[in-house]
Structure 1
């Protein structure tokens, strides 16, 4: 016995005739009749009174039709519920994002998201490891740096233009560098991961130069590197927008403003584009809509010469 045929029986009973049921279901009358005959065969009893002038169900047919109608209503309600969920972002949304990036770049956007979609419970996981979007319960991962997992769907979210910055306190003790070669006489506040690469490449148009990252201060947190740089510990490297407030306040100065590191991409990762829940689509759209202006263009968004030393 096919469940679909039982549901057809309920709809034929409700319509009152094969012709009307055929019209409502947009199903050929011959096909409908054949499937109802197959249902009778599978049940092993007549469901329609033979020879009646109009469609008339037997007692068993009436009972089956009434039972099937209840299931039909439940299915219709379930479809409505699913449509509602598809249209309205709701439920728990788990996002993996580097801690400092969440605090220094995304905090305002994340707060605005939950105000905008109050039925979504946003869970931010700042684990430093690369999460497995296929086998762990994460909906989105924010990746700073290149993406080398071809099975994931990666959407370019930002391009971080990174420059060199130092505090006025540090530059009072050391003359501000005028060329990349002058950096050899300066201390850096070094990100641990960057130090492992030994050298970093600065670029100015078509010109490039490799510099050594050395200094007495090293940390594996960009938030701490920023705090140490503000305190005069040395020269630090940050995305322009991350230090815009410091430049405006005068707590940091742009060093060698014509030179910068290769831009660092930021991607939003998901396991698939297909069957993406409304909450995930809404989150990704919201991040793009609320991205800082400096990240949208990949430029600092500051007046020419702003914050430059010398």
Structure 2
């Protein structure tokens, strides 16, 4: 029965996000694990397909639409039970999901979020604007490789407490003193020079990344695009 509950939770996540990979990111599972749970639910419990699958999208079948509402109630009931248990203590714990506009780094609401994060360190927030001991970014993998004198060292943070959606949000979180992460130096050069931010392990760097331009093979657009590329190359 526990496997069925797990499968239903995966089913709801896939329905909400529209893909196996997006559901995996939400649940912190690999795409293959998400696919396994969903296929097992369909084959062993439902006996029918819950989704129409194509190369680029997934949509609910009639059976999936019927099952989705009670599955949502099951997931909501589980979250309510966990919330009730965590509410017993004086200090809240758990994961708080927030979606906000990517306003400027000095926005009062964002600063209130940073204060909340410092006040309740056991609460994890995953949203567009947040911060943590290690500040993860939803659009990037949580792994890096550092290099120094020809030596490469892989790095994977162990304490991802908060996740942000933009470089601006990550920078704001850094300035609030809530964590660390790798950012393009151009984005933080002034803050490092002023002492607002401190560069950790300055002798280490990251591998160079290539910059590529791709354009359609249409003569008028191609000529204009080539002029822009040449402009950058001449700089």
State the TM bucket, normalised to the shorter chain: 0.3 to 0.5
Structure having the higher strand fraction is 1
**Please, what TM-score do these two structures have when normalized by structure 2?**
0.38
